[in-house]
Structure 1
Amino acid sequence: MSVPVDPVSREDGFEHHDANVKVLMMVGFSIFVVLLLSGAGVAGLLWWYDKQPEPPTTALERQLQIPPEPRLENDPRAGGNRVLSQARMLISGYGWVDREAGLARIPVQRGMALLAERGWPSRAEPGETTPPRVQQAKGRAQP
């Protein structure tokens, strides 16, 4: 089934009934003008708001008030650096975790070297109560 085509459209090579270009151009130009006017209005309001005098401050606003505890950090970068330096000291130095139990901490590099040398400790056999490596470690860690 064929649709009849307007003879003028056939001569021009396009359909005249699809869209009116003149109306589309007017709508596009109108939108552009409205956007320009809106931008100019916002710029004018910002300029006017900027020229308004500052309201005078009250005595309460001038008074320095310290909020109650807990307060936010004043210098978060310094606090973070302090936490990082404490963590670096913990993982790179020797120290006691529990002196009574003979439990000490060693640097990470030294621990990795010991694990590479001795291997990972195995679990206790079903008949044993504690693995033999743990007993040896407790004996060496005494002060």
Structure 2
Amino acid sequence: MSAFVRRLKEPNAMADYETRDVSPRFVLAVALGLFSSMALSILLVFGILRWIVPTTEPSATIFGDRQERAGPRLAVSPAADRDEVQREAEGRLQGYGWADRAAQSAHIPIDRAMAILAIRGWPDQDGQEEGKR
């Protein structure tokens, strides 16, 4: 019988371990080295971030200083915001007001503008109205 078969027949043959395997001390040393290098890296990053913190207030953006520094503006109620925009648009379409007061340009309700165009006609390119030729 071979030595291998003889060892398998012995009752405590499987309880042995290979002495050629990696030693537990080496595994422990590698694990401790890995964790200590990670901890050192984290401390190094925190140190660098603490060292490069800006000390002055950020400069104005290309949009001016209109942006609030408190954080993002969130839509708390999108439906209410949409309704408000819709009311403002309807008021502009259905009401009278100045578009440009310096140029004496006003806006009028759409229904009134359509009635005026129906009576006078669409102006041609010369600036004369069609109905007065």
Please give the TM-score of this superposition, normalised by the length of structure 1.
0.40
Q: TM-score, normalised by structure 2?
A: 0.42
